[in-house]
Amino acid sequence: MFALPQKESKAPTTCPGPASTQDLDSNHGDGLERECSRKPDWKLPEFCGVGDPTATASSDSSHLSSRGSIIKWFWDSAEEGYRTYHMDEYDEDKNPSGIINMGTSENKLCFDLLSRRVSPGAPLEMLPSLVQCPGWRGHCSLREEVARFLSFYCKSPAPLKPENVVVLNGCASLFSALATVLCEVGEAFLIPAPYYGAITQHVYLYGGVQLVCVYLDSEVTGLDTRPFQLTVEKLEMALQRANFEGVKVKGLILINPQNPLGDIYSPGELRDYLEFAKRHKLHVMVDEVYMLSVFEKSAGYHSVLSLEGLPDPQRTHVMWATSKDFGMSGLRFGTLYTENRDVATAVASLCRYHGLSGLVQYQMAQLLRDHDWINQVYLPENHARLKAAHTYVAGELRALGIPFLGRGAGFFIWVDLRKYLPEATFKEEMLLWRRFLDNKVLLSCGKAFQCKEPGWFRLVFSDKAHRLCLGMQRVRQVLEGKSQVPDDPASCQSQESGNQRSGGETPPAVL
């Protein structure tokens, strides 16, 4: 669990040793353990992977409030790799020795398809309604299209209702808004770890809400288990630990498909988790931002909205956005579906700070209603390109004898590099991360996802084949102790045409 202590207090940290990789078929993952002893009062939080916050924030600015200092601390402490990358980005022509980004989970594989489909302009007859103040929930026409879209792609038993839809500028804003309206300062959400680390900021910076980690590990204990498997027993244990420590838990966050593991929860697992939450009167926030990025048909993805009869519909809140599935992270479009009218109204009230322009709302409505293009053009090609890129990276990892988890969903592979750490510590993990960065390839280390076993990394494969090839060459050089930035070899030029379908892209990723 993240510790949010007073400055004079530090929460204990334990780092369990490596788990068994015996039953991992070139696949794995891990988690980091922290405990919390007291509630926050807007003092600087202690987050793993970014150094000692009491030291880094000691030079308080006279111009900032305590909250402002915390917000600045997040930027100063947690963005080193990305700031370095943006100062030295790889460019095939202008900067061929620049940094290749295999750390940001962003889908740029199908920009060619999207650029032809999404028109930059708005029809003149629509301008009056688009440039005036909309309802804070989003334009009615857009919410109707979102409800139809989710009904179809989530395979809901009954049509979803537009009045249960709220539109905001991305899932980050949704997490922040839900944390603010559901919790008091110092209360907490359960979240399976490893998890997408930015959620920590989303729920804390505005709402002052903590995260209680449900730690998962890579050990396989039986025929019916898998690495990093979430169980109700683990949820119960984490909740009991929080209660013992005096932390009030108000909800559970689920990411499905999961980031960084790529795990997909079965309908039975989803129902078990929802029943657990109902027993303890917990809200459940389900982030389904990768739901259309399941490129292996055998993976069998099911949305929580596909379940017949949710155990506690008034406490079940579902999020989706176009940032991942449509490679539109820059447009900032996210949507909440909840049957709880009070929650929807409270979140909608915050839309005055997190709303979308009328022009973007119009474009999104046009896109989401075009099921023919989505089903016949976009999704088949996007899935094919994702699968080709995944196949290439998985093959490279197997050639290196590196275990990994690749579930056929999302844009990333969870890679087990523990054997490359001289000691099983997060210090050694950070040193390996820096060696990658020094060799001009950016990865995301496990500590950023609260992984409790040092040595796990998330590797994003959704990039153009040419950059993907160069990135993997640089990864190989670091692991073989031959760190140096390679030239732009012809082998990677040929890889572009061999691994990428016509017009396809496979770019870097954002956490």
Tell me the per-residue pLDDT of 20-36, one tens digit each, with 9 for 90 and over.
333 343 333 333 223 33
Query: Which residue, 313, 348, 370, sits at the end of a domain?
Result: 370
Scan for tokens 């009062």, then name that residue: 41
Q: Residue 359: pLDDT band by 50, 70, 90 thresholds?
A: confident
Q: Is residue 1 part of a domain?
A: no
H runs (alpha helix) in 286-327: 322-325
Q: What is the mean pLDDT of residues 33-42?
A: 35
- Does pLDDT of 124 surpass 50? no
Scan for tokens 């903590």, then name that residue: 210
What percent of the chain has a predicted confidence (pLDDT) above 70?
A: 80
| Shared-domain flag, residues 357 and 213 | yes
Query: Which residue, 324, 351, 370, sits at the end of a domain?
Result: 370
Paired sense of beta strands 334-338 and 165-168, if any: antiparallel
The pLDDT of residue 486 is: 52
Question: Is the separation of the CB atoms in 325 and 291 below 8 Å?
Answer: yes
| Shared-domain flag, residues 219 and 156 | yes
Q: What is the mean pLDDT of residues 142-149?
A: 97
Containing 34, the helix (H) or strand (E) segment is strand 33-34
Question: Is the separation of the CB atoms in 241 and 274 below 8 Å?
Answer: no
- Does pLDDT of 221 surpass 50? yes
DSSP class per residue in 208-229 = --EEEEEE--S---STT--TT-
| Shared-domain flag, residues 217 and 318 | yes
Residue 468, SS3?
helix
| Shared-domain flag, residues 383 and 362 | no
Question: Is the separation of the CB atoms in 508 and 499 below 8 Å?
Answer: no
Residue 218 CB coordination number (10 Å): 30
State phi, psi for 449 to the nearest 5 degrees.
-105, 10
Residue 11 CB coordination number (10 Å): 18
The pLDDT of residue 116 is: 84
The residue with greater pLDDT, 393 or 58, is: 393
Kindly report the CATH number assigned to the domain that includes residue 467.
3.90.1150.10
| Shared-domain flag, residues 330 and 428 | no
Long-range contacts of 425-431 (CB under 8 A, 24+ apart): 425/15, 425/454, 426/15, 426/32, 426/48, 426/49, 426/454, 428/454, 428/455, 429/454, 429/455, 430/49
| Nearest of 447, 29, 23, 20 to residue 230 by alpha carbon | 29
Kindly report the CATH number assigned to the domain that includes residue 256.
3.40.640.10
Q: What is the mean pLDDT of residues 225-232?
A: 95
Tokens encoding 425? 């510590």
Task: Return d(Cα 385, Cα 380) in angstroms, integer.
Answer: 9
The pLDDT of residue 24 is: 40
Task: Return d(Cα 203, Cα 179) in angstroms, integer.
Answer: 5
Task: Return d(Cα 223, Cα 80) in angstroms, integer.
Answer: 41
Q: Which of 125-139, 241-255, 291-305, 394-408 has the lowest mean pLDDT?
A: 125-139
| Nearest of 11, 13, 27 to residue 416 by alpha carbon | 27
Q: Is residue 466 part of a domain?
A: yes
The pLDDT of residue 225 is: 87
H runs (alpha helix) in 1-139: 53-56, 66-78, 80-87, 111-117, 127-131
Expressed as residue numbers, the domain containing 146 is 128-370
| Shared-domain flag, residues 306 and 278 | yes
| Shared-domain flag, residues 295 and 365 | yes
Q: Residue 483: pLDDT band by 50, 70, 90 thresholds?
A: low
Which DSSP symbol is given to 16?
Answer: P
Query: Which residue, 370, 402, 424, sits at the end of a domain?
Result: 370
Task: Return d(Cα 305, Cα 331) in angstroms, integer.
Answer: 25
Q: What is the pLDDT of residues 284-311, one digit of tens each?
A: 999 999 999 999 989 999 999 999 999 9
| Shared-domain flag, residues 175 and 198 | yes
Q: Which of 353-357, 364-368, 452-456, 490-494 has the lowest mean pLDDT?
A: 490-494
Q: Is residue 243 part of a domain?
A: yes
Q: Is residue 495 part of a domain?
A: no
Q: Residue 11: pLDDT band by 50, 70, 90 thresholds?
A: very low
Counted residue by residue, the chain has a size of 511
| Shared-domain flag, residues 364 and 390 | no
Task: Return d(Cα 163, Cα 115) in angstroms, integer.
Answer: 31
Q: CA distances (Å), 457 to each of 102, 194, 201, 295, 447, in order? A: 10, 11, 20, 21, 9
Q: What is the pLDDT of residues 148-178, one digit of tens each?
A: 999 999 999 999 999 999 999 999 999 999 9
Task: Return d(Cα 507, Cα 105) in angstroms, integer.
Answer: 9
Q: Is residue 315 part of a domain?
A: yes
Tally of domains in the chain: 2
State phi, psi for 277 to the nearest 5 degrees.
-65, -40
Q: What is the mean pLDDT of residues 483-505?
A: 50
The residue with greater pLDDT, 509 or 258, is: 258
The pLDDT of residue 67 is: 83
The residue with greater pLDDT, 274 or 15, is: 274
Scan for tokens 């025929």, then name that residue: 223
The pLDDT of residue 75 is: 79
- Does pLDDT of 60 surpass 80? no
Residue 23, SS3?
coil
Q: Is residue 502 part of a domain?
A: no
Q: Is residue 45 part of a domain?
A: no
Q: What is the mean pLDDT of the chain?
A: 84
| Shared-domain flag, residues 242 and 162 | yes
| Shared-domain flag, residues 74 and 139 | no
Residue 430, SS3?
helix
Give counts: helices (H), strands (E), the chain. Answer: 19, 15
The pLDDT of residue 297 is: 87
Q: Is residue 75 part of a domain?
A: yes
Q: What is the mean pLDDT of residues 356-384?
A: 94
Tokens encoding 215? 């730690």
Residue 14 CB coordination number (10 Å): 10
| Shared-domain flag, residues 380 and 360 | no
The pLDDT of residue 6 is: 36
DSSP class per residue in 139-153 = -HHHHHHHHHHHHHH
